[in-house]
Amino acid sequence: MLTSEVLIGGIGSAPRKPLDELIDELNNKQVESLVHDAARRYRELKLQIKVLGNYSVGAGLTVSRLNQEDQLQDLHRRLRTMPSYMYLNKHEQKLETIAHAYIAKHPVGTKSQLAAIPRKGYDLEDDRLLGELRGKLEKVIEARAGKMGDYDSVLERMAKLQELQAEQEQLEEAMGLLEEQKEGYGRLVRLYYFERRTAEASAMSLCISRPTFFRWKPAAARMFFRILEWQRE
């Protein structure tokens, strides 16, 4: 959305104009200021993601690592719609078989699942596999209960990390779309606004002359800002 009510006519004015028309009414200096704001936000996001991702939650894990594990769990949930032999190794298939054989119901929650696993099987091999299942669940419960600190706090940090990453990806996507739309424009925005390179260094990286750079710059900034606003609508 346009970040200044002054730029879009303020509250209580005439019916709002179409977005493209509003953007067209901005002068180049206003557009460039808004693109600088987006670039500044991008740099802030990178720093916040790094700081938050490196936050230790105990047990040798960071929020970033947990987020990756969370993504792996999402993948596993999708894989579960496939035959298990396609993604589980032989030993994991044995554990799956023993779980199905001894656990009549499949309760939700690790503590309930742990309670549902019998301590004794029909033979020593079953005892061993059941013990391994119990051990895996006990480690999860132990990590969540104490050694990883406050579990709710960890989840909150993970959610915040994912939110920041999504915002960063949106800006990355806008630069990518701009480059697809007009070759060189996306790279110009990245080099000059996001990486804060000089006009001369940016022009050199783009293999264009200085006059061409300054001719491209306002058009690239306006097109980038337009794409950003389309994303946010």
Q: Which residues of 202-232 are buried (b: 16+ CB within 10 A; e: fewer)?
A: bbeebeeeeeebeebbeebbbbbbbbbbeee
Q: Are 164 and 48 in contact (CB under 8 A)?
A: yes
Name the phi and psi angles at 57, rounded to 5: -110, 10
Give the model's pLDDT for residue 141: 58
Give the model's pLDDT for residue 9: 45
Give the model's pLDDT for residue 233: 77
Residue with tokens 């070759």: 183
Which tens digit of pLDDT belongs to each residue from 24-47? Answer: 899 999 999 999 999 999 999 999
d(CA 129, CA 195): 54
Does this model's pTM top 0.85? no
Give the model's pLDDT for residue 114: 61
Identify which of 133, 135, 139 has the alpha carbon closest to the alpha carbon of residue 92.
133
Which stretches of the chain score pLDDT less than 70? 1-17, 55-89, 92, 104-116, 137-155
Give the model's pLDDT for residue 189: 98
Strand-pairing partners, residue 58, are 61
Which tens digit of pLDDT belongs to each residue from 103-115? Answer: 766 655 555 666 6
